[in-house]
């Protein structure tokens, strides 16, 4: 059954596997008149390129995006925008062994069970490259949100047991280190931790935090399309995400009502504001004007190359 579409008014349909000809997305519902060109998309794609540091996957890829429709004289026409990123690097020999394995933590097994057979090369549709289409669509969404003064910022909040310190928070720092931490000291510690794990051919998980500023009030549709519910669906659908929280998140479980309340106040202009923001910017599923603060927990799995003897040669065994 179809599951690669997200959104109602602004709708995206992603496609592509890691070792097919390319990956891409069709963005439908972007209003007409928004200035848009490949560069607006490319700058986001460049941030996700693996191989930029010794810590990320060593496959070198050129992810050059091409916009095939929906643009005229430099602006969106209001019709669907199709974007393609052709897969330049397709070294199948890298993956010749995994045809016979179900890698732990990967979807090899479940894809086989669901579809009957699978594209074993590098994870197919379940690979990280599937997110390229989302990033491209997100680039357009980001440009559109800017028009409304809304800005989305994300960074690594924690890697393993290394957490950023609010007191050292500097968003510029995020783009200066390979672990995307907006805290110079924590970034160094995290890199040390990762080097240690890499020597053990191991890896470690982490938490990404995302802040949305400039939100107007009133966005979100009770009941099932509450803003936090839809954000949650979107975030949980990213591979390796095992948890989503908003505001004080799982911390609210231990908080008393008195601690958790975000009390209202009125400023000298007559505007309503909240003194705290444990709710994370959303009340009853509708934005309340505060920043939206959300977090996602990413799991990591032991690298395949180390476990080939441990993985069960299931395909050879069963078939």
Smaller CB distance to a copy of itself: residue 139 or 158?
158
Least spacing, CB of residue 7 vs a copy of itself, in Å: 7
- 164 CB-contact burial (10 Å; exposed 0-12 / middle 13-18 / buried 19+): buried
Smaller CB distance to a copy of itself: residue 32 or 171?
32
Smaller CB distance to a copy of itself: residue 166 or 256?
256
Q: Could you tell me if 289 and 283 are in contact, meaning their C-beta atoms sit under 8 angstroms apart?
A: no
Q: What angle do CA 207, 14, 44 make, to 5 degrees?
A: 55
- How far is Cα 159 from Cα 142, in angstroms, rounded to an integer? 26
* Tokens 């959303």, located at residue: 282
- 292 CB-contact burial (10 Å; exposed 0-12 / middle 13-18 / buried 19+): buried
**SS3 at position 75:** strand
Smaller CB distance to a copy of itself: residue 172 or 319?
319
**SS3 at position 217:** strand
- How far is Cα 77 from Cα 83, in angstroms, rounded to an integer? 15
The Cα diameter of the chain in Å comes to 73
**SS3 at position 114:** helix
Least spacing, CB of residue 58 vs a copy of itself, in Å: 16
Instruction: Identify which of 136, 121, 107 has the alpha carbon closest to the alpha carbon of residue 39.
Output: 136
**SS3 at position 248:** coil
Least spacing, CB of residue 235 vs a copy of itself, in Å: 8
Least spacing, CB of residue 96 vs a copy of itself, in Å: 14
Least spacing, CB of residue 168 vs a copy of itself, in Å: 20
Least spacing, CB of residue 133 vs a copy of itself, in Å: 9
Neighbours of 133 (CB within 10 A): 24
Least spacing, CB of residue 104 vs a copy of itself, in Å: 4
Smaller CB distance to a copy of itself: residue 15 or 169?
15
Smaller CB distance to a copy of itself: residue 174 or 197?
197
Smaller CB distance to a copy of itself: residue 158 or 172?
158
């Amino acid at each position: 059954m179809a599951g690669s579409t997200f959104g109602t008014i602004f709708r995206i349909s992603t496609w592509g596997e890691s070792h097919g000809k390319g990956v891409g997305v069709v963005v439908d519902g972007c209003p007409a008149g928004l200035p848009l060109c490949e560069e607006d998309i490319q700058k986001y794609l460049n941030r996700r390129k693996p191989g930029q540091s010794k810590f990320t996957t060593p496959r070198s890829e050129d992810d050059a995006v091409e916009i095939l429709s929906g643009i005229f004289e430099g602006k969106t026409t209001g019709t669907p925008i199709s974007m393609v990123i052709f897969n330049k690097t397709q070294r199948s020999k890298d993956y010749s062994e995994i045809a016979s394995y179900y890698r732990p933590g990967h979807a090899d097994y479940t894809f086989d069970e669901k579809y009957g057979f699978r594209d074993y090369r590098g994870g197919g549709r379940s690979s990280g490259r599937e997110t390229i289409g989302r990033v491209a669509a997100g680039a357009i969404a980001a440009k559109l949100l800017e028009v409304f003064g809304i800005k989305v910022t994300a960074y690594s909040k924690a890697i393993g047991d290394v957490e950023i310190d609010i007191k050292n928070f500097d968003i510029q720092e995020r783009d200066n280190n390979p672990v995307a931490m907006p805290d110079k000291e924590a970034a160094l510690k995290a890199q040390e931790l990762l080097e240690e794990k890499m020597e053990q051919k191991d890896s470690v998980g982490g938490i990404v935090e995302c802040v949305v500023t400039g939100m107007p009030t009133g966005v979100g549709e009770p009941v099932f399309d509450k803003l936090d519910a839809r954000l949650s669906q979107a975030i949980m659908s990213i591979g390796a995400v095992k948890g989503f929280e908003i505001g004080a998140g799982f911390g609210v479980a231990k908080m008393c009502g008195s601690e958790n309340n975000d009390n209202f106040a009125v400023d000298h202009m007559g505007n309503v504001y909240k003194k705290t923001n444990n709710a994370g910017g959303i009340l009853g599923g509708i934005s309340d004007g505060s920043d939206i603060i959300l977090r996602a927990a990413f799991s990591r799995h032991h690298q395949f190359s180390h476990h080939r003897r441990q993985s069960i040669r299931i395909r050879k065994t069963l078939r």
